[in-house]
Amino acid sequence: MWQQRLPNGKGLLEGRLHKATGRIFVVEKFYENKLPRSHTSKPWPELETVNVYAPVDAEGVTWDGLDVALGQFGEKKAA
């Protein structure tokens, strides 16, 4: 949906629409060095951290659901 470069040049803030659920997520991405300007051929630095923020409600998103999802993610990474 949208993307904004952080003032320090080392990160991006994004708004994303999850089409399957219709939920909007905010994603923060932080890089080890400043990002190159648009329309340049310089390579992007390594991604260091990603934070995802999503709306929480009692029906669709719960702490138990998060625990299950993190467990499944850990299993996939180990495989």
Tokens representing 67 are: 């625990």
For residue range 18-64, list pLDDT tens digits in order: 887 787 889 999 999 999 988 889 999 999 999 988 876 656 667 77
Structural domain total, the chain: 1
Full-model pTM: 0.64
**In this structure, is the dihedral angle defined by the CA atoms of residues 49, 11, 8 and 44, taken in order, positive or negative?**
positive
Give the separation between CA 49 and CA 72, rounded to whole angstroms.
Answer: 20
Task: Give the domain extent around 55.
Answer: 2-78
